[in-house]
Structure 1
Amino acid sequence: MDGQLLLVLLLLLLGASGPWGQGPGPEGPSEEPLKEEFPEEKVTEEENGILVLSRRTLARALQEHPALLVEFYAPWCGPCKVLAPEYSKAAALLAAELATARLAKVDGHAEPELTEEFSVTEYPTLKFFRDGDRLHPEEYTGPREAEGIAEWLRRRVGSSATRLENEEGARALIDAQDVVVIGFFQDLQDEDAAAFLALAQDALDMTFGLTDQPELFQKFGLTKDTVVLFKKFDEGRADFPVDEELGLDQGDLSRFLLTHSMHLVTEFNSQTSPKIFAAKIPNHLLLFINQTLAPHQELLAGFGEAAPPFRGQVLFVVVDVGADNDHVLRYFGLGAEEAPTLRFIDMDTTKKYAPAAGELVTAAAITAFCHAVLSGQVKHYHLSQEVPPDWDQRPLKTLVGKNFEQVAFDETKNVFIKFYAPWCPHCKEMAPAWEALAEKYKDHEDIVIAELDATANELEAFAVHSFPTLKYFPAGPGRKVIDYKSTRDLETFSKFLDSGGQLPAEEPTEEPVAPFPETPANSTTGPKEEL
């Protein structure tokens, strides 16, 4: 008994804590809490008003700030460097307004655990965390300039629409902006009002109001729930009644607002082009005029007169050939001297249409042209340069739209074609190898090495969306086409040709390509870089 007592006393003296430092044993009380892998650290590091976070400090930041917008970036990322000054300006704008909202950033290259946790696959990526919810951040898809970033956050932290209680407040809101959207809802707690507010969070280029006051329903001639767009141009007002059975459809309302917030006739410039492409109306009718010429300006009245019946179906756009719009003229294959003239484009298919030669630009002619295109009575056209007289005199042949078919699909030839853009750096980089390839095979009667400027020539067979695009057209029937996606050097090109359009399995690889630049048929969003 004495021996057992002595053993117990000895264990108590030597084993005061359990095997992992958690107390005397599995049932004994713990005198201090479990320690996490990283001790809790206060978030203090900042750069230009932006919190600098890591895996050690993110959790604390989420606790301290109910609204947190986090940018995942990489030090080498070009688009991140472009965003940086705007992000800092946005932080400064918000600092004086929203005490609960902060901007932060994480070096994703240095914090791979966080990029994996939040599924970051490209830089910059921005995610919005609300009320400390780490599991369900909202993807940021807003603007990449300071005021847009700040406004995006304002509408999520505060209300996305101004609450209106009387006519005076409503009139003041309407008078303050060119476009104002007011939701009239008899019950502000129902799903339709919530859907309206959710849509307002992202429609940053419009001002929103909200009311349930019977006085305002009466003042604006309404008897049921309606969203009204007030504007200081065209017809001045457009109503979107809420379906009493189906409720408010956000998609339908979004399209309605985009359509009716635009002028019936919009002049194309750097400010209006993003809205033109965002309108989700595929059909565009363009009037090319020289605004400095009085006879050209007189055509605007007829153009505007023809527009109302086509609202929501065709966008009417004016392009001033005397302004900085050369890229638009090139896209349609026009010269400034051809104005005034019309062109119609289907943005979904990029098919272009032209009126009959010599057709006058009058309201009646414009209306008839639109109806003819929409009903399929007008054949679309393709851009093509003229065939150069010496197109086949050099080892490297020059193709254009007008001679492409006869060369590419010649059943007696194996034709290897580079589709390029004059401005494309990747095309310029591979040009010497392509010239060398043409020189190497110049005496092979059954092999043609050629190039085609895809910015000035369009093809019926297929569209080219990136540069350089390389395609091989083997001899024989069937109009076969093989895409080349391997290394762009003379040796690999030669192996490809010598094997009849095939490469060993281990060799295929894709090299960089340049997308189309921003054009009327191809606008782009903010740049990003993949991890």
Structure 2
Amino acid sequence: PLCVPGRMDSQGIVRWMRRRAGPSATLLQDTDTMAAFINSQDLVVIGFFKDLRGEAAQAFFELAAEMVDTMFGVAEAAELFQEYGLSADTVCLFKKFDERQTNFPVDPARGLDTAELTRLLRVHSLQLVMEFTNETSNQIFSAKIPHHMLLFLNKTSPEQLSLRDGFRAAAGGFRGEVRWPHCRDMEGGFGTPQPQCPLFLAQVLFVVVDVTGHGADVLPFFGMTAADAPTLRLVKMENNRKYQMEQDDFSDSAIRTFIRAVLDGKVKPHLLSAEPPEDWDTRPVKVLVGKTFEQVAFDETKNVFVKFYAPWCPHCQAMAAAWEELAERYKDREDIVIAEMDSTANELENITIHGYPTLHYFPAGPGRKMVEYKSTRDLETFSKFLDNGGTLPEEPP
């Protein structure tokens, strides 16, 4: 069986079937058909190959068959190489926005690396500054760019809209260089390592978020409301760590300086924390927040069992009663604390929660020890775990 990439609606499936059944790339034979093809879409990919039967061209056809949401063309005529300033096999991305033509020369030694080319095309098919909408959200996240620089603004405010100019000016320096790891020069082919030839690096994607539009849905993730706009945030996508300036400065130079400082590890993440409830420690289940977590979880005199949850999570809701019963059972034990923390409203610097519920046990004693609980989530198994000092006793054979 074949996996259908791209959109899984009827249009996407039909497009994929047609691409698989017929030529995956349109043959472009002269300047007129080339110009018409380039102008037919906002974005097209064209492979210029001296030999359309060669390995590089065949790899290009295979890639085109998979990337069904993009129009692909091929050319081998010498006049077309000359018309577009090329002298060697090259894949070109043509756009009606930002850079009009972006070249990806084929390494004559390594051939066409389709995985690398796919990544490059994903990145460069994005606008230099994206707007976060329902239509672009999948494109933004599927590009797999490791950092997102976000400008939150209210699009109904002309004053806030003007902040996009400085934001865009800062973006150009973080698009990434289009180079392969080994190269000689832009035209003469790629293969010989040169110190001045950097790796391709698209580190930061710049995104404008309208707090009155689709972007309103993501505000709780940042602990923000629409009234906080305009403001800037940088997100490290691998762990959802968020960074913010001490005081927002929307100039392009300030934005660039801030991003460099984050990438160099000179800025600490901004961690969300709710305010602790007044009765947080009066009930059997202690309610922790970001700013109280350390003092409770790493209390050397206590064994602390913490449930990290999300209020909307059905699995969390299903085990809520067992967690309350567990706390009731151990409420008179001075050395045991049963606690919970809403991870959608609170973040920790050295603990990243990837799923809900997540249960961690913090044993008493010196040091910052932590044990993840991965067994059955019921009252009796929880009790065995606690009574055995943070491990489950081996069952007799």
Superposed displacement of residue 327, structure 1: 4.1
Q: Distance in 1 between matches of 2:383 and 2:112?
A: 61
User: Which residue identity is paired with 2:17?
Assistant: L
Q: Does 1:442 align with 2:306?
A: no
Tell me the residue number matched to 1:70.
Answer: none
Superposed displacement of residue 141, structure 1: 4.5
Q: Does 1:375 align with 2:375?
A: no
Query: Within 5 A, what are the aligned runs for 1:43-122?
Result: none
Tell whether the 8 Å contact from 2:132 to 2:214 is kept in structure 1 after alignment: no
Q: Deviations over 1:442-494 (max 9, x none)?
A: 22211111100011111223211111111222222232222222332323322
Q: Distance in 2 between matches of 1:324 and 1:165?
A: 43
User: Which residue identity is paired with 2:173?
Assistant: P
Superposed displacement of residue 362, structure 1: 1.6
Superposed displacement of residue 417, structure 1: 1.0
Task: Determine which structure has greater relative contact order: mean sequence separation of CA pairs < 8 Å that are 6+ residues apart, divided by chain length.
Answer: 2
Superposed displacement of residue 237, structure 1: 1.6
Q: Deviations over 1:132-160 (max 9, x none)?
A: xxxxxxx4455422222222222222111
Q: Distance in 2 between matches of 1:373 and 1:493?
A: 41
Q: Distance in 2 between matches of 1:382 and 1:401?
A: 8
Q: Deviations over 1:309-342 (max 9, x none)?
A: 1102211011111113344222222222111111
Calculate the TM-score normalised by the size of structure 1. Answer: 0.67
Tell me the residue number matched to 1:276.
Answer: 140
Which of 303-312 and 377-386 deviates more? 377-386
Q: Deviations over 1:353-379 (max 9, x none)?
A: 11122x321222212212222222222
Tell me the residue number matched to 2:70.
Answer: 206
Q: Distance in 2 between matches of 1:344 and 1:423?
A: 26
Secondary structure of 2:214's aligned partner: coil
Q: Distance in 1 between matches of 2:374 and 2:83?
A: 65
Q: 1:410 to 1:279 in 2, by over 3 A?
A: same
Tell me the residue number matched to 2:184.
Answer: none
Superposed displacement of residue 266, structure 1: 0.2
Q: Deviations over 1:72-129 (max 9, x none)?
A: xxxxxxxxxxxxxxxxxxxxxxxxxxxxxxxxxxxxxxxxxxxxxxxxxxxxxxx13x
Q: Does 1:249 align with 2:113?
A: yes
Q: Does 1:480 align with 2:369?
A: yes
Q: Does 1:322 align with 2:212?
A: yes
User: Which residue identity is paired with 2:322?
Assistant: A
Superposed displacement of residue 212, structure 1: 0.8
Q: Distance in 2 between matches of 1:242 and 1:328?
A: 40
- The two structures, once aligned, show a CA RMSD in angstroms of 1.8
User: Which residue identity is paired with 1:317?
Assistant: V
Q: Deviations over 1:47-82 (max 9, x none)?
A: xxxxxxxxxxxxxxxxxxxxxxxxxxxxxxxxxxxx
Match 2:84 to one of 220, 227, 231: 220
Tell me the residue number matched to 1:346.
Answer: 236
Secondary structure of 1:356's aligned partner: coil
Q: Which has the larger radius of gyration?
A: 1
Superposed displacement of residue 257, structure 1: 1.2
Secondary structure of 1:177's aligned partner: coil
User: Which residue identity is paired with 1:426?
Assistant: H
Equivalent residue pairs, number: 370
Query: Within 5 A, what are the aligned runs for 1:38-437?
Result: 127-128=1-2, 139-311=3-175, 312-357=202-247, 359-437=248-326
User: Which residue identity is paired with 1:458?
Assistant: E
Tell me the residue number matched to 1:490.
Answer: 379
User: Which residue identity is paired with 2:91?
Assistant: V
Q: Distance in 2 between matches of 1:481 and 1:341?
A: 36
Superposed displacement of residue 502, structure 1: 3.1
Q: Distance in 1 between matches of 2:41 and 2:330?
A: 66
Which of 432-441 and 239-248 deviates more? 239-248
Tell me the residue number matched to 1:462.
Answer: 351
User: Which residue identity is paired with 2:8?
Assistant: R
Gapped regions of structure 2 (runs ≥ 5): 176-201
User: Which residue identity is paired with 1:393?
Assistant: T
Tell me the residue number matched to 1:505.
Answer: 394
Poorly superposed stretches of 4+, deviation over 4 Å? 139-142
User: Which residue identity is paired with 2:79?
Assistant: E
Superposed displacement of residue 297, structure 1: 0.4
Tell me the residue number matched to 2:190.
Answer: none
Q: Distance in 2 between matches of 1:141 and 1:207?
A: 15
Q: Work out the percentage of aligned pairs sharing the same amino acid.
A: 57
Q: 1:326 to 1:392 in 2, by over 3 A?
A: farther
Superposed displacement of residue 343, structure 1: 0.7
Q: Distance in 2 between matches of 1:376 and 1:485?
A: 33
Tell me the residue number matched to 2:199.
Answer: none
